[in-house]
Amino acid sequence: MCGRYFIDLDEPELARIAGIIEEEIKERQLSFPVKTGGEIFPTDTVPVQTGTASFQPMKWGFTGYNSRLIINARSETALEKPLFKEAMRINRCLLPASGYYEWEGVKGKKQRYAFTLPGGPLYLAGCFRQEQGLPFPSFVILTREAAPALAHIHSRMPVIIPQDQAESWLTRSSQAMEEPILDLLAEASEGFQGRK
């Protein structure tokens, strides 16, 4: 599961993306708060990549049944679930991030770890939809079974899209998305570094 991630604006690419979003907010004269850096929580509105050079603000979380907030979708079944199917076929996105957090239960307490990739930002796979009454679309983050090296901390992890596959993920036709989703997503988990 992915319930928290972070954006470090000392990373030039993430600072550039933040600037694009801040300029858009200024141009549209929006007063809605958008978080472009720091620790990102569910319901935050953050920068999201929707095309090879397109970014826009979106809120983290779909409104599910009984108004329950849904923040993640299992990549193995997202194309089958009514809540995610259309978004997965036509509205895929990427969440630019410096890393994500996961918690491990240790002696009755939870120990937080930050997972990063050396050499720059990572891009979390997601999908989005427009919800009624909101100024921006809403997104969920896709998850997959954790890589063996990380499974002792949590059984799930976010799906990470390597930069060289970002365009394919964002623009692949809806017909191609009918193939098994895990065959389309890279297993980009090698090289992850966890720190307390």
Query: What is the pLDDT of the chain when averaged over all its residues?
Result: 85
Q: What is the pLDDT of residue 105?
A: 72
Mind listing the pLDDT tens digit for each residue in 107-150? Answer: 778 888 888 888 889 999 999 999 998 889 999 999 988 877 77
Domains of the chain: 45-188 (3.90.1680.10)
Q: What is the pLDDT of residue 179?
A: 53
CB 72 within 8 A of CB 140: yes
> What is the separation, in whole angstroms, between the first and last Cα of the chain?
18
pTM of this structure = 0.89
Mind listing the pLDDT tens digit for each residue in 71-83? Answer: 999 988 898 899 9
Query: What distance in Å separates the CA atoms of residue 23 and residue 19, rounded to the nearest whole number?
Result: 6
Residues 6 or more apart whose Cβ sits within 8 Å of residue 116: 98, 99, 122, 192, 193, 195
Ranges of residues in the chain whose predicted pLDDT is under 70: 1, 106, 173-196
Query: Could you give the percent of the chain with pLDDT greater than 70?
Result: 87
Q: What is the pLDDT of residue 177?
A: 57
